[in-house]
Chains A and B, each alone.
Chain A
Amino acid sequence: MADTTASAGAGSSGMRSGSKQSTNPADNYHLARRRTLQVVVSSLLTEAGFESAEKASVETLTEMLQSYISEIGRSAKSYCEHTARTQPTLSDIVVTLVEMGFNVDTLPAYAKRSQRMVITAPPVTNQPVTPKALTAGQNRPHPPHIPSHFPEFPDPHTYIKTPTYREPVSDYQVLREKAASQRRDVERALTRFMAKTGETQSLFKDDVSTFPLIAARPFTIPYLTALLPSELEMQQMEETDSSEQEEQTDTENLPLHISTAHTETRS
């Protein structure tokens, strides 16, 4: 049963995009999987001692099995995404099964039972093909460790990179403008947020929202904040120290005079 999970999960996700027409290669693909499930249900019934079953009951059991497997897939995917992975691992599946009330410990024994029947791999069916018009770039082939019956990689632009062909902005004025307005926007947003979430003071009695001032709060040790450079400044200091005032984008650096006295005077 465990070895069908992956294909069932893929099948269930494929179902959503499937249409009613049976001529569609995608539907054929799904039907093939469905048939495999029916074989599984039938063999399980045989194993349980049934000699025959009505078609309707087989259909119902198939539906239940498919839902169950889909649920395992969906849930495992959630668990794996929760831990910031894209590929479900065994532990995701185990957690899922436990969550669904399944006694995982019994599973290995069940898989090794003597009377089990081996089902042949599903017949090779045509993969669902995306319409030509939407493809961009060449789809990658499966690497060798992925069985060929797994779905194809999606279009490369969806997960590799999207080359665009616009000229990058390098104009000094625009850059400065951008940097300035970005910083200003950030500052304004941040201070407004702080003002909204905390106590404020206002210069206008009737209006407290247009120019909200974050309320003045006394410090227990006021000289510390006043004298110590902030972490940002410290960081900046280190940076500038290491780069020692690299040449600026637009300036010819002024000659550096540090001494203050230049004019001669009579003494």
Chain B
Amino acid sequence: MPPTGLEPARMNRKKGDKGFESPRPYKLTHQVVCINNINFQRKSVVGFVELTIFPTVANLNRIKLNSKQCRIYRVRINDLEAAFIYNDPTLEVCHNESKQRNLNYFSNAYAAAVSAVDPDAGNGELCIKVPSELWKHVDELKVLKIHINFSLDQPKGGLHFVVPSVEGSMAERGAHVFSCGYQNSTRFWFPCVDSYSELCTWKLEFTVDAAMVAVSNGDLVETVYTHDMRKKTFHYMLTIPTSASNIALAIGPFEILVDPYMHEVTHFCLPQLLPLLKHTTSYLHEVFEFYEEILTCRYPYSCFKTVFIDEAYVEVAAYASMSIFSTNLLHSAMIIDETPLTRRCLAQSLAQQFFGCFISRMSWSDEWVLKGISGYIYGLWMKKTFGVNEYRHWIKEELDKIVAYELKTGGVLLHPIFGGGKEKDNPASHLYFSIKHPHTLSWEYYTMFQCKAHLVMRLIENRISMEFMLQVFNKLLSLASTASSQKFQSHMWSQMLVSTFGFLKSISNVSGKDIQPLIKQWVDQSGVVKFYGSFAFNRKRNVLELEIKQDYTSPGTQKYVGPLKVTVQELDGSFNHTLQIEENSLKHDIPCHSKSRRNKKKKIPLMNGEEVDMDLSAMDADSPLLWIRIDPDMSVLRKVGFEQADFMWQYQLRYERDVVAQQESILALEKFPTPASRLALTDILEQEQCFYRVRMSACFCLAKIANSMVSTWTGPPAMKSLFTRMFCCKTCPNIVKTNNFMSFQSYFLQKTMPVAMALLRDVHNLCPKEVLTFILDLIKYNDNRKNKFSDNYYRAEMIDALANSVTPAVSVNNEVRTLDNLNPDVRLILEEITRFLNMEKLLPSYRHTITVSCLRAIRVLQKNGHVPSDPTLFKSYAEYGHFVDIRIAALEAVVDYTKVDRSYEELQWLLNMIQNDPVPYVRHKILHMLTKNPPFTKNMESPLCNEALVDQLWKLMNSGTSHDWRLRCGAVDLYFTLFGLSRPSCLPLPELGLVLNLKEKKAVLNPTIIPEAITGNQETAINPSGHAQLVGFQNPEGDHLAKEASCNISAHQQGVKRKSDTPLGSPLEPGQILEKNEDSSKVKLKIRFSSSQEEEEVDMDTVHDSQAFIFHHLNMLERPSTPGIHLGVFNLEGKEQSPLEMSMHPVATAPLSVFSKESTSSKHSDHHHHHHHEHKKKKKKHKHKHKHKHKHESKEKDKEPFTYSSPASGRSIRSPSLSD
């Protein structure tokens, strides 16, 4: 075996990194998933799974698996019936009736709930008790086969059904179903160990209608017809060890295309789209070749499948040996704009096949390595395919994005380390969500996380060279492929998992370089660097005095110490200097090479060796400096603000060959509206050698400059003559040439220029009439008959241009907008929009780009007061059944309307859609748009902000979105944007003035009432037990208030200066809790019993309870617990027996709902209540104590296990003996 990065890791445990140690007391080797029946009409699935596991500890008595939504009928282990509990605390994060409404509380509770079922912590929703008959077997560490029968009915997440409501059979209707989700979400559709680190081999069987095709991972071994020939069973085998999270499924009446270049690759698309599929995938083999070549490694799986489906969750989802794409990526040869985008998606998904699917991650904190590597090699592909310019432009774009995001939110941490002893500061304390789990992350954060990961990989490449980098990847892959071919017993499979430590070790082995500082700076720490640079030229010393300051105090920033490259372009050439950025040195002297005299008419050498003639008249006669660039290679994640004279920026724009430099100078020139800037920009615009994206941004800069120079501007409107020269007929300059988009550069420029021109304004701040006429003429004379390509994007941009030309209406006395007082220009615009929009109905354009632009333009007209503001039109376009792009555009308009007109009705309409729309992507997108363009924010007075809305949103994130992690996190984002972290200000004061902390045996005024002014009060009313019961248990809400108090009270202990709703952990002694709760739990049980009767009807996925769940963990499955004893204890403790006894006789075949009902009523004693809080709030400071106590508690439970039983737990145990 070659030396690996993982083996030494085991010895190096001091550093906190270690080789893979499974969090589970068993190892999974093989899993069978068999879905016998899929009903499209009812949207249901019936099947079973069989997991083959080897116990790794002798006394394994319970097995935790992940399963959400599934209805579990029966569990057998080695053919013996096994009892199981199904409890999912993420279904309802906080108590249903709790009045708690602050986000801090929610986020902590949510993180705790996710932790409680996190497979990476060895947890799961489904807890199976090993039958006692098998204990001996287990003690010998012999194999166990767990057979679980399950069904899914109308799944809300995980599996998505698309069933168009037309005539015909399901296959004729194009009905299909596919698996989807964010990160590890396989548990939504079958019970499994839903972790990226638990690998096993797979056998997948799907029985579907004979007209349908089932696509899944691995090799299709055979398809077998059923006896009646009406159904087929697809048998797939995946022999490469794969995690359940990388298992996928797509079933539909797909058209099948075997890739003509690579026969092991098969493409699937929905009926009628085959020609598009052919064209779209015709490029894929080149991507394959590229990756295989740079990685010097063959594609690891024996086959690859692409499936294009409708209503996709994300555009691209990569799974082991198959990728699921949105059908909207398909395009014909006539479409220009979509082609590169689709190819990028294909390339992205393929990169993830190697890193992400084949090589999986050890834990969530290693995610950045996989995202980084796949993003990095995707970048290499971009560079090869689209050229260096495009690549650098993309890197710059990504850098700008991550910098902006980190500065806004306060940092993205790639490698969070958790659980290490004392953790003083939460690594993500600036965030309103926990970054401990992928499922608690804001979607935007996760996107930025991926972006940062690949940028950091690029930084590593800069440090160790690409060659070494690729060697490292190759090493990881070859290790993994060796491991993948091994039998399970060799314990080699963990080589297929990558960890941060293993990756870094591999880098140091291969390159021999120490990249620890780099990792420490960008991986172990969040934040970006903010530089401010300025300079002075010292003529006497011929020295450039450069001053570089850093801002490392604002959120999201960090201090940078180390080398920094500065490039100075002088008259005599371009020179690189590496400055050492240190703690306190701001000034750097850089000697200049050139004398400032420049009487000789010499050509000026550039960085790339090219020598050019320049007109140097604009220069400062005393200085030889043409321009200066800080960190030109983007080798720091930074934002640079640099000050240099306008002529220097202009030289940089004209003569610097790096597109990033050009882009930067364009941005800088916006501040220098002078004729010289105008000329520089115009020249760039005309230069065909120049990168087209630079030219496009020059357009917009030129428009801005022209507007700043409006009073002194001479000649026709900016860009008009340029456009005429480039794209109009020679003989009649007002008529555009018939379209010919063969030159893509010209095409993009032709599209962009009118859009930029429409931003021009005259002295009255109106769009010049000349420009409007010009754009209208472009539309009028547009002629695509002889074009090889579709002009739909071009026409759409012309509508965008029209929209850009709209300026606010001048209204007299707030008159009502009618047709009669319509501005004549607007009338012309409206005429065009009407025609375009109507023509779309008859001759729809690709992806309905024109409708999308029309809707946006109409909203612009409304917003500017030309057309009455009215959401009706948008709402009709937002309905289900329109193309998704149209829907999103329409919804965006409704969101904007909601904000501008403060419409409660529309907000409700949107919220309703978030909950009920059939397309998960649309729901997600509405939340996203509402967050980006919120109707109000936390510091704003708004009539929309009321208690009902708070409750509604709370409910949405608390329980309404439990089927979709992304959606729930989106709801959290929105809640944060609207109300902030603290209790929303619009809420009324809590009813109860006095609250108490049972842990502390204290009662205080509810801190949410008077956050600041009660410093002395906490000592006032303290009579522990009496008050406790009185306040805590008089009514059902009481204990929640108490709970609220328990987290709020800590704030007071911290000195009450803190806001009431940002609780911090407070220490507490374990003993105190235990003794305190004995009596109160009894009282509470009664209450719970009565309420359980009322709640008997609640559906299985409405109410669950994390605290109760934790309680189960502590108590329920310890040997030698049997349900019978539970019963006895109950009878002793809780005096209400009837409801209990009724549900104590589960029928063997009854579906799980019986149990879930029980868990709805499962409330818990105060004990775990506190315990839970401790979990959430105090974990940081008191981790050790806490852990200790945890053990301590469970020991106590062992001795006297049922002291704290709650009815829920008692009834949830299911045992065959009982049912008999």
Contacts and interface: CB of A to CB of B under 8 A. Distances in A.
Interface of A: 172-173, 176-177, 179-181, 184, 187-188, 190-191, 194-195, 201, 203-207, 210-216, 218-230, 232-233, 236-237, 240-241, 243, 245-246, 248-251, 253-267
B742 A245 contact: yes
27 contacts: A173-B731, A181-B780, A194-B841, A204-B818, A204-B867, A207-B819, A216-B876, A216-B882, A218-B881, A221-B166, A223-B883, A224-B273, A226-B328, A227-B327, A227-B330, A228-B272, A229-B332, A229-B334, A229-B846, A236-B784, A245-B742, A250-B737, A251-B730, A251-B740, A257-B746, A261-B387, A265-B658
A263 B883 contact: no
A214 B846 CA distance: 19
B868 A220 contact: no
Contacts of B659: 263, 265
Contacts of A257: 688, 743-746
B577 interface: no
Contact of A267 (B388, B732, B831): B388
Given A207-B818, A223-B270, A263-B389, A190 B842 contact: yes
A261 B691 contact: yes
B309 to A, nearest CB: 10
B868 A205 contact: yes
B608 A265 contact: yes
Nearest to A230: B843
A265 B395 CA distance: 14
B283 interface: no
A180 B781 contact: yes
B389 A261 contact: yes
Contact of B788 (A203, A205, A228, A245): A245
Contacts of A265: 388-389, 392, 608, 657-659
Given A221-B164, A227-B846, A266-B658, A191 B835 contact: yes
B174 interface: yes
Interface string B819-851: 100000000001100110111011110111000
B88 to A, nearest CB: 34
A264 B610 contact: yes
Interface of B: 164-166, 174, 270, 272-273, 276, 310, 327-328, 330-334, 386-390, 392, 607-608, 610, 657-659, 662, 688-692, 694, 729-732, 735, 737-738, 740, 742-746, 780-781, 783-788, 790, 817-819, 830-831, 834-835, 837-839, 841-844, 846-848, 858, 861, 867-868, 870, 872-873, 876-877, 879-885
Given A260-B692, A262-B389, 6 more contacts: A203-B868, A211-B831, A214-B837, A221-B310, A251-B730, A265-B388
Given A227-B327, A260-B692, A254 B858 contact: no
Given A216-B882, A226-B328, A203 B867 contact: yes
A258 B386 CA distance: 11
Contacts of A241: 788
Given A184-B780, A260-B389, A262-B689, A250 B729 contact: yes
A172 B731 contact: yes
B388 A260 contact: no
B383 to A, nearest CB: 9
B732 A219 contact: no
Contacts of B174: 221
Contact of A223 (B327, B692, B784): B327
A222 B881 contact: yes
A191 B746 contact: no
B882 A222 contact: yes
B953 to A, nearest CB: 28
A249 B732 CA distance: 12
Given A219-B881, A232-B843, A258 B744 contact: yes
A181 B835 CA distance: 13
Contacts of A220: 164-166, 881
A177 B731 CA distance: 13
A206 B819 contact: yes
A11 to B, nearest CB: 54
A250 B166 CA distance: 50
B818 A266 contact: no
Nearest to A172: B731
Contacts of A194: 838, 841-842
A190 B834 CA distance: 12
Given A203-B867, A214-B841, A260-B387, A250 B731 contact: yes
Contact of B608 (A172, A211, A245, A264): A264
A53 B737 CA distance: 86
B740 A245 contact: yes
B578 to A, nearest CB: 16
Contacts of B877: 216
Given A233-B790, A251-B729, A264-B657, A226 B847 contact: yes
B949 to A, nearest CB: 29
Contacts of A191: 834-835, 838-839, 841-842
Given A228-B276, A237-B334, A248-B740, A260 B745 contact: yes
Given A203-B868, A233-B334, A256 B742 contact: yes
A188 B838 CA distance: 9
Contacts of A229: 332, 334, 790, 846
A251 B844 contact: no
A194 B818 CA distance: 24
Residue from A222, A241, A246 whose CB has the most chain B CB atoms within 10 Å: A222
Contacts of B692: 260
A72 B334 CA distance: 61
A195 B831 CA distance: 14
Residue from A246, A249, A254 whose CB has the most chain B CB atoms within 10 Å: A254
Contact of A211 (B333, B688, B735, B830): B830
Contacts of B688: 257, 262
Contacts of A177: 735
Contacts of A267: 388
Given A223-B270, A227-B276, A250-B737, A218 B839 contact: no
B848 A226 contact: yes
Given A187-B835, A227-B276, A237 B788 contact: yes
Contacts of B834: 191, 211-213
Contacts of B838: 191, 194-195, 212-214
A69 B379 CA distance: 91
9 pairs of A and B residues whose beta carbons are closest in the complex:
A218-B881, A261-B387, A191-B838, A173-B732, A226-B883, A222-B883, A261-B389, A250-B729, A220-B166
Contacts of B272: 224, 228
A180 B848 contact: no
Nearest to B884: A222
B743 A201 contact: no
Nearest to B690: A263
Contacts of B745: 257, 260, 262
Contact of A263 (B691, B783, B788): B691
A260 B744 contact: yes
Contacts of B390: 260-261
A215 B876 contact: yes
A243 to B, nearest CB: 8
Contacts of B879: 216, 218
Contact of A201 (B165, B740, B873): B873
Given A191-B839, A228-B273, A176 B386 contact: no
Contacts of B830: 203, 211
A173 B737 CA distance: 11
Contacts of A218: 879-882
Nearest to A201: B873
A224 B273 CA distance: 8
Contacts of B842: 190-191, 194
A210 B848 CA distance: 24
Residue from A181, A215, A220 whose CB has the most chain B CB atoms within 10 Å: A220
Nearest to A249: B738
Contacts of B610: 264
B724 to A, nearest CB: 13
A204 B737 contact: no
